[in-house]
């Protein structure tokens, strides 16, 4: 197992709940969100923020579209915007009549469908749902009874879908029909029971390795397609939330983190909590797929 990875600061800031990093190769920038603050951020790694846009409500995730804009998983639905986060318009309401719920993680499959999950603001168990949002904006519930719908990813050949409902402390795998966008045969790939951390967001590298942020565990772990831990990235913060590959060569692992719930004493020990971190772990990954907007 490899765990000798040097970790640097990509963007020093104080996100309450930094999440959902996505590399934008066209803009040579990293997109990410501060969920509860409702802020969309973009940054050139190693420099100041390019922009911050306040969307006015909880913002679970950002993904790029094939038309050069952005698709946003916001509290009450799925929105589209231009590349700068302005001109936001509602594409598809999702649970808009349930203000106790919000969108959490969201990702696009290789065919351009958006998958987005909901959860309760107070993390009430079993009330979340994972939805598939198709190109023309139809919203299809796929998995119900979730507690904290989180990490999503697909194998390089798109025959497998990975999913995390954080309180289960599992990474689940499902067979995936890319033509129809249908996942089947959900089963555990790996149980995370040797650390106080719980699995949060994820990304998949070009070799099929699954990189998972361990909230409360101060680590990113790489799991092989058969569920073995192959790499560990130890972090100077306790609450990593998600990760993605980016940079011009796709070999930088960007890691979002959070300050949520930390005391002044804990923040004094982990002053980088809420920043975006980065390392070069010896693997690479392509930018996350874009949403195919009609």
User: For this structure, is 194 an active site residue?
Assistant: no
C-alpha of 274 from chain center: 15
How is residue 175 written in tokens? 């067979």
Q: Are 61 and 105 in contact (CB under 8 A)?
A: yes
- Tokens 């490899």 sit at which residue? 2
Q: What angle is formed at CA 77 by the lines to CA 293 and CA 87, rounded to 5 degrees?
A: 60
Q: Are 291 and 63 in contact (CB under 8 A)?
A: yes
Residue in 105, 109, 200, 231 annotated catalytic: 200
Centre a 10 Å sphere on the Cβ of residue 169 and count the other Cβ atoms it contains.
Answer: 17
Q: In what order do the strands lie in the sheet with 29-34?
A: 18-24, 29-34, 39-43, 49-54
Sign of CA dihedral 11, 7, 166, 292: positive
Residue numbers annotated as active site: 200
């Amino acid at each position: 197992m490899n765990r000798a990875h040097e970790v640097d600061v990509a963007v020093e800031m104080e996100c309450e709940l930094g999440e959902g990093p996505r590399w934008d190769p066209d803009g040579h920038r990293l997109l990410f969100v501060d969920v509860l603050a409702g802020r969309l951020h973009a940054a050139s790694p190693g420099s100041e923020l390019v922009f911050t846009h306040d969307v006015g409500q909880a913002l679970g995730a950002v993904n790029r579209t094939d038309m050069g804009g952005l698709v946003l998983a916001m509290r009450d639905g799925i929105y589209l915007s231009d590349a700068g986060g302005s001109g936001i318009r509602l594409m598809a309401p999702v649970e808009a009549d349930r203000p106790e719920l919000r969108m959490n993680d969201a990702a696009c499959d290789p065919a351009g469908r958006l998958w987005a999950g909901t959860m309760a603001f107070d993390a009430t168990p079993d009330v979340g749902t994972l939805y598939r949002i198709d190109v023309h904006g139809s919203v299809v519930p796929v998995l119900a009874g979730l507690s904290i719908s989180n990490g999503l990813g697909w194998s390089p050949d798109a025959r497998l879908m990975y999913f995390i409902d954080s309180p289960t402390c599992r990474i689940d795998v499902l067979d995936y029909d890319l033509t129809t966008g249908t996942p089947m045969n959900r089963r555990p790939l790996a149980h995370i029971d040797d650390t106080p951390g719980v699995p949060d967001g994820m990304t998949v590298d070009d070799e099929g390795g699954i990189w998972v942020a361990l909230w409360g565990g101060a680590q990113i772990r790489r799991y092989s397609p058969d569920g073995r831990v192959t790499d560990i990235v130890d972090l100077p913060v306790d609450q990593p939330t998600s990760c993605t590959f980016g940079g011009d060569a796709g070999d930088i692992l960007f890691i979002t983190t959070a300050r949520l719930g930390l005391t002044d004493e804990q923040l004094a020990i982990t002053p980088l909590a809420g920043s975006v971190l980065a390392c070069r772990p010896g693997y690479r990954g392509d930018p996350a797929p874009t949403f195919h907007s009609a």
